[in-house]
Each structure stands twice: as structure tokens, then as C-alpha cells.
Amino acid sequence: MTHDAARILYRGRLAPSPTGLLHLGHARTFWTAQERARQHGGTLILRNDDLDRERCQPEFIRAMLEDLRWFGLAWNEGPDCGGPFAPYDQSGRLSDYRAALDRLVDLGCVYPCTCSRKDIQSAVTAPHAADDEVIYPGTCRNHRKSEIGNRKSSWRFRVPDGETIAFTDANLGPQSFVAGRDFGDFVVWRHDDVPAYQLACVVDDALMGITEVVRGADLLVSTARQLLLYRALGWPPPAFFHCELLRDEAGQRLAKRHDALSLRQLREQGRTPEELRAAW
Ligand code: GLU
Ligand code: ZN
């Protein structure tokens, strides 16, 4: 590919979830995503990851767009400005997720799981994945939909136990995770009939033509999971660039509950984006 073609093709994305106020950690990751897109002369899209209907509230969506703009972020395609891959709200894309799930079911890559959270947590071993998710003990691995009838179930992806999933991160270098040890069978469709993050993210990044995913290092293990979904669905994966996580003075990861460090509050305290960027 020529240099020019690579410049034209770069497509990056910002994918915030409006479940709370954005904090400085999000801003830094998004700033990096914007820089990457600019360096490549590419397109940046904003996707509103609003599948969790209970936690995603309209006032957070408004605040999210406002805070992102205040911080100096700008996008070429998004829920507010449209674009060739609209809609840019995950809640409007359910038919795509459903089609991908159907394919995974047909391919035999997923199985219905009727375990409750408590069942899984109290399973004898219940070790934890590299990112602290509980490793699913495999209780329902041999279930078929016909056997569980009308009982509520989630759908889990069956990971290839013992296989090493390796990729080269554009920021952090070579990464590898062992399926079944570093992460277990994961949910692609929740028991409340909502697509899970792993599936929705892969479907959107693939269908929106994203060429590089920039996100926090807390999602490295999810990248390994998602690579398995790309493979199962027969889609080429994008490149990945994981950003180191911002920590507070005590070395704690910034989470949305750190309200003191929400962009909103920083702005109300009179801080400017330039000043905040100079400090990280
Ligand atoms: N909405 C997801 C989050 O905020 C996106 C993560 C990702 O970049 O893949 O965690
Ligand atoms: Zn189960």
C-alpha cells in the first residue's frame, strides 16, 4: 500500500459510554486517539456506547458531548453530525449485533448459559482472569438452546483452551494471553437480551471500517477476547494502540466515581484543557 493510501484509510474512534461523567483518564485516551488520527491524516468517529439502558442516561450523553468538545476533541462522524455509517448510537444498531450472534450460533462458537452471577462466583475454583473477570467454570459448555427451552440464558463464546492469543500493540509492543487461563468463556449476549460489550464493540469496529482502536490498557485482555470474535466471524481485525492508564496520587486507577477529577468539575474549578494536558 502506498503511503497516501494508508493516510486516506486510517479510521479511528472515540467510544465513550454515557454511564457517568468523563474523567481525565478518558480525556487522555481520547486525546491520543485524536492525535493518532491526525498524524495519519485520518478520520475520527464518535460512537455512543449506550447499550446499557439502565446506566446510560440522557443527561450523561449531553454532558459527554459537551465535555469532549470543551476539552478540544472534534470528530468527523458521530451521533450529532451523522456520517456514512450511521447510526452512531449502539442502541440503534441492534440488528447488526443480532445478525452476528446468529452467525456465531450457527457456527457453534457460542452456547446458552443459564448460570447466575452467584452460581459462577461460588463455583469451586472460580479463578480470576488477568483483568479480574471471574473465569467461567464451563458449567454450561455443552448446553444447546433446545435443551434449555424458555429459560433465560446468556450466550457465551467458547474459547480455545490453551491457545495463545498474541498481537503486537502499537504502543505497548508484543502481548500474549492464554485462552482458558488468562480469560475464560465470555458473554457475547446478556441474559436480559442486551448484546455484551465484546460483541457490540467488534461488530461496530468492523462494520464502521475502523483501522486502529485506541483505548486504555485495562482492555488488553478484552482485545484478546475480541480477536477470537474477529476470527470466528471471518473479519480482519484492526490494529490496536493501548494507552497506559492514568493514576491518582495514591496510584489508584481513575474510575468514573472519582468525581473530583471529572472533566466537568475540573472545568467548574476554572482549569483549562491546555493546563490539564500539560500536567499528564
Ligand atoms: N464504551 C467502551 C468503554 O467505555 C469502549 C471501550 C473500547 O474502547 O473498546 O469502556
Ligand atoms: Zn452457565
Q: Could you give the CA distance from residue 144 to residue 222 in angstroms, rounded to a whole number?
A: 26
Asked whether the beta carbons of 7 and 227 are under 8 A apart, the reply is: no
Binning pLDDT at 50, 70 and 90, where does residue 184 land? very high
> Rounded to whole angstroms, what are the CA distances from 174 to 114, 181, 229?
36, 18, 20
Q: Whose CA is nearest to atom 8 of ligand 1?
A: 215
d(CA 231, CA 195): 19
Please tell me the distance from the alpha carbon of residue 127 to that of residue 111, in angstroms, as a whole number.
Answer: 21
**Residue predicted with more confidence, 223 or 7:** 223
Q: Is 219 in the pocket of ligand 1 (CB under 6 A)?
A: yes
CB 253 within 8 A of CB 181: no
The secondary structure of the chain, three-state, reads: CCHHHHHHHCEEEECCCCCCCCEHHHHHHHHHHHHHHHHCCCEEEECECCCCCCCCCHHHHHHHHHHHHHHCCCCCEECCCECCCCCCEHHHCHHHHHHHHHHHHHHCCEEEECCCHHHHHCCCCCCECCCCCECCCCCCCCCCHHHHCCCCCEEEECCCCCCEEEEEECCCEEEEEEECCCECCEEEECCCCCECHHHHHHHHHHHCCCCEEEEEHHHHHHHHHHHHHHHHHCCCCCEEEEECCCECCCCCECCCCCHHHEHHHHHHCCCCHHHHHHCC
Residues annotated as catalytic (active site), given as ranges = 256
Nearest-atom number in ligand 1 for the CA of 222 is 9
Q: Which ligand is located closest to the Cα atom of residue 32?
A: 1
Mutation probe of ligand 1 site: the residue of 14, 17, 133 with most atoms within 8 A of C-beta: 17
Digit-coded pLDDT (tens) for 112-125: 999 998 888 888 66
101: left (phi over 0), alpha (psi -120 to 50) or beta: alpha
**For residues 26 and 57, is the Cβ–Cβ distance under 8 A?**
no
Name which of 33-47, 89-103, 190-204, 251-265 the model is least confident about. Answer: 251-265
CA distance 132 to 144: 28
pLDDT tens, residue by residue, 126-183: 688 888 888 999 999 999 888 888 888 999 999 999 999 999 999 999 999 999 999 9
Residue 48 to residue 79: CA distance in whole angstroms: 7
CA 41–ligand 1 middle distance (angstroms): 23
Please state the pTM of the whole predicted model. 0.94
150 CA → ligand 1 middle, Å: 32
Ligand with the closest atom to the CA of 22: 1
Among the listed ranges 12-26, 64-78, 248-262, which one has the minimum average pLDDT value?
Answer: 248-262
Whether 204 lines ligand 1, by a CB cut-off of 6 Å, is no
